[in-house]
Amino acid sequence: MDQALKYVRRPSSHLWEIGLLALALALPYMSFMDRSRTSLAVFAGIYVMLGLSLNVIVGYAGLFQLGHAAFFGLGAYTAAILSIDYGITILATIPIAILVAGGAAVLVTKPILHLRGDYLCIVTIAFGEIFRIAVTNNVFGITGGSNGLFGAGRPEFPLPWLEPVPAIMLAIILALHLLGTRKSGPVLQWGGAAVIATAYYLLPLGLDRKPLFVVSMAMGAVAVIAGAVLRSNRASARVQMIVLVGIVLAFALGTVLGAETITGEIAYSMDEYFNVDDPTTILGVEFTPVAFKRDARPYYYLVLGFIVLTVVGMRRLQNSRLGRAWLYVREDQLAAEAMGIDTTQIKLIAFAIGSAWAGVAGVLYASRFTVVAPESFNFLQSVIMFSIVVLGGSGSIPGVLVGTLGMVVLPELLRDAAPTFMYEGAGPVVILALILGFYLYHAQDRLPAAVLESAAIAAAFFLPPLLLGEPALYVVGILMALVMLIAIARLRRRTARYLPWVAGALAVYTIVLLAAGGSLGPDLSDGVSGFRIMDWRDGLMGVAMVLMMMLRPAGLIPERRRGIAPVTVEQPSEPIPTAARQQTTV
Amino acid sequence: METFLQQLINGLTIGGFYAVVALGYTMVYGVLKLINFAHGDMFMWGTLAGWGLLTTVFAGLLDLDLIAVLIVAIVVMAFIGLLGMTIERVAYRPLRSAGRLSPIISALGAAFALQAVARNVSEARWRTYPEGLLKEMPDLHLSGTVGLSGLQILMLGVCAAVMIGLYLFVQRTRIGTAMRAVSLDHNVSRLMGINVDRIISLVFFIGPALGGLAGVMIGTYYGSFNFTLGWVFGLKAFIAAILGGIGNIPGAVLGGFILGISETMVVAYGPDLGLVDASAWKDAIAYVLLIAILITRPTGILGETVAEKV
Amino acid sequence: MALLELRDVNTYYGSIHALKNVSLKVEAGQIVTLIGSNGAGKTTTLRTISGLLRPRSGTITFNDSPIHNTPAHEIVYLGLTQSPEGRLIFPTLTVNENLNMGGYSLGNDKASVESHRQRVYDLFPRLAQRKKQLGGTLSGGEQQMLAIGRALMANPRLLMLDEPSLGLAPLLVRMIFETIETINQQGVTVLLVEQNARAALRLADYGYVLETGGIALEGPADELLHDQRVRHAYLGEA
Ligand SMILES: Nc1ncnc2c1ncn2[C@@H]1O[C@H](COP(=O)(O)OP(=O)(O)OP(=O)(O)O)[C@@H](O)[C@H]1O
Ligand SMILES: [Mg+2]
C-alpha cells in the first residue's frame, strides 16, 4: 500500500497537465487526425465537459444522477431556440442556458433531495425521460418534435484586430493565471504559458506552420533558460526543467508527425476556417466580425478552451469550502449535519452547478451541430455520462478524460473500424496505449514478470491480425488483451509496476507504423465477411464496463483521497453485509 | 361505463405483466440493494428466446398451441433463470463490497451486452410471434361489449398464480424466510448458517425466470417486439416496483397494476381531457407517477417508513 | 484437546491491526469469559472465530478441525454459533421466524426445529407469549433473549455471546446470567464476552483479558477476580 502511494504521487502537480495540454493543442495537426476524427475530438470534448459537470454531482457530492442528459438538452434547446427564433448569437446564450439548466435543476431536485441513493437514481432517470418525451412531443410548440430544431447559429464574435499579438498576450495572462500557483515555479509558468499561447492563437489563426514552430520552440527554450537560471539550485526545478524540455520536444514532435502539412500546402488563411465579414466600427474601434465555418478545428480549440476553464474552475471548487462540505456530506452525512452543514442546501448547490455547466456544454453542442434533436439527450446519453465519471474514477478530473476516451472515443472509432484499423492511423492505438498505461501505472509489478506480461499483451493485440490477416481478429486481439488484464489483475494485483512500458512500446510501435507510411503488414482492405464491429459496439462497451468495474471498482484513476479515509475491511472470502455497505452510501 | 370497464380489464392485463417483471427487480433489490438494470434485458431475452423457439423448434407443434407455449415458457424460464445466475456471478458478485456506484455501472454494462446480442440475433428488426397464437380460446363476456378474451384470462391467471405462489414461497417456507433474512443483514444471516451466496443465486434464478415468463407472455399477447423492449418496459416495471415500495412483493404487484391501469386510462380518456396526443405521452405517465409518489411517500406506497440505516 | 483453540491469530481491518497474536482455549463444558475495555478487540475475536473476518495469520481449531478458512455459514453446522453484539435480530421477522432462522442449519426437519424452539421457549417463557410479534417491536431485554435463543436453535456445542448484558436493567442482567448458567448446565460450552467483568468472572470457569488487541492476562476466573491488576482496571477498585 505504502509502495503504491509512492508511485502514485506525482512529482509536481502541473507537469501532467501541461504535457496533456501541449498534446491536446497539437492534436488536430497530427497526421492521423482527418476531418472526421477532429470532429470526433470536438464531440468528445463536449462529453469531457459533461463528465466534469456531472462529476460535481456524482463525484464531489456523492449523489446519483442518471438524467444528466436532460440538462445538457436544456442548454442545447435554449441555445437553439434563442438563436433560431430570436437571432441571438449563439455564444451569447450561454448565460441564459446556465440560468435555464441550473434553475431547472434547482426546481426539479429540491423536492427529491431527501430521497436515499437508489430512489434518487431512479427519479433522476424519470426526469431525464420526461424531458425527452416532452421535447419529442414538441412541448409548448417550440421544440420541433421528434425531428428537433435545425439551423442554430455557429459561434461568431467581433475581433478588434486580426493580428494575433494581443491574443497572445491574453493567452499568456490566462495561462499564468492557470498555472500560477506557488508550487509550480516560474519555469512552468513561463514555459507553459509560451507553449499554450503560441499554439492556442497562432495555429488556428493561420500563420505558416514552420515559422510557428520555430517561434514556439524558441519561446519555450527561452522560458526554460530563464526558468533554469531562476531556480537552478533546486532539484525540483531541475525535474521541472527536464520535463518542460520534454514537453516542448513532444509538442514539436507532435506537429512534425503531421509531416504532410509541413511540406505540402502549408499556408492557412483565415477564411479556410472562418467567415470574415467587413469590419464595422464600434465606439471608434474597428471590429472584424468572424464566424465559425463547418470545419471542426476552430470548434476544437473553442471546446478545449472551455475544458481548460472548466478544469480550473472544478479544481478551485474542489478545494473551496464548498468542496470540503461536499466531501463531508459524501463521506458521512450525519457527521456533516452534526458539524452544522446544511446538507440539503449543499446537495442542491451541487445539482445546480453541475446542471448549469451541462447547459453550457449544451450550447457548445448546439453551436457545433446546429441541429438539436431529442435522441441526443436520451437515457443512453445519461448512462454514458455517468459511466464516464465512474469508470474514470468518481471525483477525479483526469478520470473524466480517461472515461471519455473509453465511453465516447473508443466506441466511435470502432464505428468505422475498417479492416485497415491499425494501419491507417495511430489514433486507436494511442488511446489503447493511454488506457493501458493509466491502468498499469496504478497497478504495481516486478520487472521480469512485467516484461513478459507486456509482451503478451502487445502480442495479443498485434500478432493475430498481422499473421492471419483477418479483420475479425482485431476483436479477438482486444478480447485477448482484456483477458490478460484480468489475469494480471486477479493473480497479482500488486505486481504490475513496470507495465507502463507497454504503453511506451505501443507508442513506439505506432510511430514505426507511421514512419513506414502505413505499409506494414498485409493489406486487409477487403475480406470482412459479414462481421461489422459497429453492430457489436454497444455490446463491447457493455462488456468493457463490467470488466472495468471488476478490475478497478474505484475507477481507472481514483480520486486521491483527502480527509477522512474510509477503512477497507480485511476481505473475508465472502462479501460485506448490506448493512455495512449502506453506511458508505450516498 | 362500458369503455371504462373494458379499459380496466386491459389495464389489469398490462399491469399484470409489469407486476411479474417488477417482482424480479424487487427481489434482487431486496437481497443486494442493487438496481438490476440488466433485468429488463433479460426479460426481453425471454421474449426473444420464446420467439426463437416458437418459430423454429416448436413450429410444428403450433396446432397444439397451448402446450407449445407452455413448454416454451418453461424452457425459457429455465434458460433466463440460468442467465440471471450467470450474470450475478460474473458482473455483481465481484463487486459486492465495492460501494454503490460500481455495481450500477456493471449492471448497465451487462444490459448493454445483452441488448447488443439481442440486436444482432434479431437483426435489429421487429419480430413477430406465430400468427393466431392462443387466439382460439373461449372468451368471457361480462355484459354488453365488455369482456375478457381467452388470452387475457390466461395471462391474468398466470400472473396471479405467479404472484401468489411467490408470496407464499417467501412468507411461508424456510428458504423464503432465509431470503427475507438475507435482505435484512448478510452477516447475521451467515451466523444463522445461511449460505448467503446461494440464496442470492436463487434470487437471481427466480427473478429472471419470472422475467422470462413475462417475456414469453408479452410476446404472445402483443405478437411483435424488438430488442429495445427491455429498456422501455423494464424501466417502467422497475418504476412499478418502486411505486409499491421496493423490496416488497405485494408492493411490486400493486405498483404494476397501478401503472398498467393508469397508462391504459390516460390513453383512453386523455383526448377527452384535452391531451390531444395522449398516446405519445403514455410513456411519461410512469415517470410522473413515480415522482409524485416519491415526493409524498419516499419509500413507496407499501414501503416501510423506516429511516435509512446509517 | 480443547473444544476451541486460537493460536497466534492476527486480524486486520484494512491497515488497522485489530488482533495481535491472540491465543486462547475453550475447554468443553466450561464457561470461558473474554473481558476487556472498549475497543480491545473482543467483538473482533468473535467475528474472526465465526468466520465473518479472516485472520491474516494464525490458526483456529474447533473440535479438532481447522476452521479459519471455513465459510461462516458452514461453521454453524459444526456446532459453533454466536449471539452478536447489539443483538441484531431480524426486525421484520416474527419471533418464531427469527428462531426458525436460528435453526436454519437443522434443515427441513420440522420436528427437531419444533423441539429446539420449545427448549428456547422453556428458557425464556416471555418469548413464548410473543411468537407472532415482529422482532423489531420487542423490548431490549426481549430482543436479547431472542438473540440468545436464536443462537441456541442450531443446537451448538459452543455458544458465543457478545455482551448479552448490554443496555439491560440489573434485574434482567441477573436473569440473563442465570440463563447462561442453565444453558451451560445443559451441556453447552459458552464463550462469554462481557463489559460487566465482575459478573462474568463470577460465572465463568476461566477468563481472558484482552487489551488493545492482545491477550494481557489469563487464568481461572476466581484468580482473575482477585488479581490486583484486574481489580484495578476492570472492576473499578482502587
Ligand atoms: N469495521 C471496522 N473497521 C475498522 N476498524 C474497526 C472495525 N471494527 C472494529 N474496528 C476497530 O477494531 C478495534 C477492536 O474493535 P472491537 O469491536 O473488536 O472492540 P470490542 O472489544 O468489542 O469493544 P466494545 O467493548 O466497545 O464492543 C477497535 O479499535 C475498533 O475501532
Ligand atoms: Mg464489542
Q: What is the pLDDT of residues A293-312, one digit of tens each?
A: 778 878 888 898 899 889 88
Kindly state whether residue B307 falls inside one of the protein's structural domains: no
Q: Where are the alpha helices (DSSP H) in B223-281?
A: 229-244, 249-269
Does one domain contain both A301 and A243? Answer: no
Is a pLDDT exceeding 80 seen at residue A158? no
Q: Do B190 and C73 touch (CB under 8 A)?
A: yes
Return the C-alpha cell found at B255: 405498483
What is the mean predicted confidence (pLDDT) over C22-46? 94
Lowest average pLDDT, out of A421-430, B20-29, B53-62, B183-192, goes to A421-430
Return the C-alpha cell found at C171: 434485574
**Predicted local distance difference test score (pLDDT) of residue B98:** 79
Give the gap in angstroms from C-alpha A3 to the nearest C-alpha of chain C: 14
Q: Encode pLDDT of B162-179 as tens digits.
A: 999 999 999 999 999 999
Kindly state whether residue A37 falls inside one of the protein's structural domains: no
Q: Do C101 and B194 touch (CB under 8 A)?
A: yes
**Which of A435-447 are b and which e, b meaning 16 or more Cβ less than 10 Å from the residue's Cβ?**
bbbbbbbbbbbee
Kindly state whether residue B71 falls inside one of the protein's structural domains: yes
Return the C-alpha cell found at C207: 477468563
| Phi/psi at A265 (5° precision) | -70, 110
Distance C43 CA to ligand 1 centre (A): 7
Structure confidence at residue A173 as a pLDDT band (50, 70, 90): very low
**Among A229, A261, A281, residue at a domain's last position:** A281
Distance C8 CA to ligand 1 centre (A): 19
Query: How far is residue B200's CA from residue A304's CA, in Å, rounded to a whole number?
Result: 47
**Predicted local distance difference test score (pLDDT) of residue C215:** 93
Structure confidence at residue C33 as a pLDDT band (50, 70, 90): very high
Is a pLDDT exceeding 50 seen at residue A426? no
Is a pLDDT exceeding 60 seen at residue B97? yes
Across the interface, which of C82, C91, C108 has its CB nearest the CB of B191? C82
Kindly state whether residue B309 falls inside one of the protein's structural domains: no
Where are any strands of DSSP class E within chain C?
4-13, 16-26, 31-36, 57-62, 65-66, 80-83, 158-162, 189-194, 206-211, 214-220
Q: What is the DSSP string of A330-375?
A: HH-HHHHHHTT--HHHHHHHHHHHHHHHHHHHHHHHHHHHSEE-GG
Identify the DSSP state of C194. E
A196 touches A21 (CB < 8 A): yes
Where are any strands of DSSP class E within A476-563?
none
Kindly state whether residue B58 falls inside one of the protein's structural domains: yes
**Among A531, A546, A571, residue at a domain's last position:** A531
**Predicted local distance difference test score (pLDDT) of residue A240:** 55
Does one domain contain both A136 and A193? Answer: no
Structure confidence at residue A418 as a pLDDT band (50, 70, 90): very low
Identify the DSSP state of B129. P
Q: Do C52 and A571 touch (CB under 8 A)?
A: no
Does one domain contain both A265 and A177? Answer: yes
What is the mean predicted confidence (pLDDT) over A419-434? 43
Is a pLDDT exceeding 50 seen at residue A263? no
Q: Which residues of chain B does C50 touch, with a Cβ-Cβ cutoff of 8 Å? A: 190-191
Distance B199 CA to ligand 2 centre (A): 28
Q: Encode pLDDT of B46-84 as tens digits.
A: 999 999 888 877 777 667 778 888 889 999 999 999 999
Coil, helix or strand for C7?
Answer: strand
Q: What is the CA radius of gyration of chain B?
A: 19
Q: Which residues of chain A does B290 touch, with a Cβ-Cβ cutoff of 8 Å? A: 122-123, 126
Distance between first and last Cα of chain C? 38
What is the mean predicted confidence (pLDDT) over B187-191? 96
Is a pLDDT exceeding 60 seen at residue A421? no
Is a pLDDT exceeding 70 seen at residue C47? yes
Structure confidence at residue A98 as a pLDDT band (50, 70, 90): very high
Query: CB-hemisphere CA count at 13 Å for A62?
Result: 21
Computed over every residue of chain A, the mean pLDDT equals 67
Could you list the residue range(s) of the whole structural domain that residue A451 is in?
420-531
Return the C-alpha cell found at B74: 418453461
Lowest average pLDDT, out of A18-22, A144-148, A422-426, C223-227, goes to A422-426
- Going by CA atoms, what residue is nearest to atom 5 of ligand 1? C13
Q: Do B304 and C92 touch (CB under 8 A)?
A: yes
Query: How far is residue A118's CA from residue A106's CA, in Å, rounded to a whole number?
Result: 19
CB of C40 sitting under 6 A from ligand 1:
yes
Instruction: Tell which one of C33, C43, C162 to mutate to probe ligand 1, the residue whose CB is within 8 A of the most ligand atoms.
Output: C43
Distance C46 CA to ligand 2 centre (A): 9
Query: How far is residue B211's CA from residue B256's CA, in Å, rounded to a whole number?
Result: 13
Kindly state whether residue A44 falls inside one of the protein's structural domains: no
Across the interface, which of A116, A334, A545 has its CB nearest the CB of B105? A545
Does one domain contain both A189 and A277? Answer: yes
Is a pLDDT exceeding 50 seen at residue B182? yes
Across the interface, which of C51, C73, C90 has its CB nearest the CB of B184? C90
> Which ligand has its closest atom nearest to the C-alpha of C40?
1
Number of domains in chain A: 3
Is a pLDDT exceeding 60 seen at residue B282? yes
Q: Where are the alpha helices (DSSP H) in B122-195?
A: 150-172, 174-184, 186-191
Coil, helix or strand for C160?
Answer: strand
CB of C42 sitting under 6 A from ligand 1:
yes
CB of C47 sitting under 6 A from ligand 1:
no
Kindly state whether residue A580 falls inside one of the protein's structural domains: no
Q: Which residues of chain B does C93 touch, with a Cβ-Cβ cutoff of 8 Å? A: 177, 180-181, 184
Number of domains in chain B: 1
Lowest average pLDDT, out of A231-240, A572-581, B146-155, B188-197, goes to A572-581
Distance C84 CA to ligand 2 centre (A): 9
B81's CB contacts (< 8 A; 6+ apart) are: B205, B206, B208, B209, B212
Q: Encode pLDDT of A443-481 as tens digits.
A: 444 434 444 555 555 555 555 444 444 444 455 455 555
Per the listing, cell 460465572 goes with C203
Q: Do C102 and B192 touch (CB under 8 A)?
A: yes
Is a pLDDT exceeding 70 seen at residue B200? yes
CATH label of the domain that carries residue B282: 1.10.3470
The ipTM, to two decimals, is 0.93
Query: How far is residue C119's CA from residue C124's CA, in Å, rounded to a whole number?
Result: 9
Query: How far is residue A199's CA from residue B36's CA, in Å, rounded to a whole number?
Result: 47
Q: Where are the alpha helices (DSSP H) in C84-220?
A: 95-102, 110-123, 125-128, 140-152, 170-185, 197-203
Distance C213 CA to ligand 1 centre (A): 9
**Among A320, A344, A377, residue at a domain's last position:** A377
Return the C-alpha cell found at C208: 481472558
Whole-number Cα distances in Å, C141 to C149, C166, C169: 12, 9, 8
Higher-pLDDT residue of A38 and A532 is A38
> Which ligand has its closest atom nearest to the C-alpha of A581?
1
How many CB atoms within 10 Å of residue B8?
A: 17
Query: How far is residue A409's CA from residue A537's CA, in Å, rounded to a whole number?
Result: 12
- Set out the domains of chain C in order of their start, with CATH numbers: 1-79+157-238 (3.40.50.300), 91-155 (no CATH)
Return the C-alpha cell found at A81: 431556440
| Phi/psi at C219 (5° precision) | 165, 170
The CA-based diameter of chain A, rounded to the nearest angstrom, is 77
Does one domain contain both A488 and A510? Answer: yes
**Predicted local distance difference test score (pLDDT) of residue B184:** 93
Across the interface, which of B94, B231, B310 has its CB nearest the CB of A583? B310
- Going by CA atoms, what residue is nearest to atom 9 of ligand 1? C44
Kindly state whether residue B226 falls inside one of the protein's structural domains: yes
Give the gap in angstroms from C-alpha C98 to the nearest C-alpha of chain B: 9
Higher-pLDDT residue of A553 and A379 is A379
Is a pLDDT exceeding 70 seen at residue A151? yes
Could you list the residue range(s) of the whole structural domain that residue B292 is in?
2-296
**Predicted local distance difference test score (pLDDT) of residue A582:** 37
Query: How far is residue B200's CA from residue B36's CA, in Å, rounded to a whole number?
Result: 13
Q: Do A574 and C15 touch (CB under 8 A)?
A: no
CB of A567 sitting under 6 A from ligand 1:
yes
C93 touches B183 (CB < 8 A): no
Q: Which residues of chain C does A573 touch, with a Cβ-Cβ cutoff of 8 Å? A: 54, 69, 71
Is a pLDDT exceeding 50 seen at residue A514? no
Using the Cβ of B105 and the Cβ atoms of chain A, whether some distance falls under 8 Å is answered with yes
Report the amino acid identity of residue A163: E
B216 touches B47 (CB < 8 A): yes
Does one domain contain both A179 and A276? Answer: yes
CB of C39 sitting under 6 A from ligand 1:
yes
Residue A448: which of A509, A495, A483 has the closest Cα?
A495
Lowest average pLDDT, out of A79-93, A392-406, A515-529, goes to A515-529
Does one domain contain both A169 and A272? Answer: yes
Lowest average pLDDT, out of A38-52, A467-481, C55-69, C163-177, goes to A467-481
Using the Cβ of B310 and the Cβ atoms of chain A, whether some distance falls under 8 Å is answered with yes
The residues on B that touch C, with CB distances below 8 Å, are 174, 177-178, 180-181, 184-185, 187-196, 304
Q: Torsion angle, CA of B192/B195/B196/B200, rounded to 10 degrees?
A: -140
Residues 173-202 of B with CB under 8 A from A: 183-188, 190, 196-197
Higher-pLDDT residue of B77 and B2 is B77
Kindly state whether residue A6 falls inside one of the protein's structural domains: no
A418's CB contacts (< 8 A; 6+ apart) are: A424, A471, A525
Q: Which residues of chain C does A583 touch, with a Cβ-Cβ cutoff of 8 Å? A: none
Is a pLDDT exceeding 70 seen at residue A510? no
Kindly state whether residue A45 falls inside one of the protein's structural domains: no
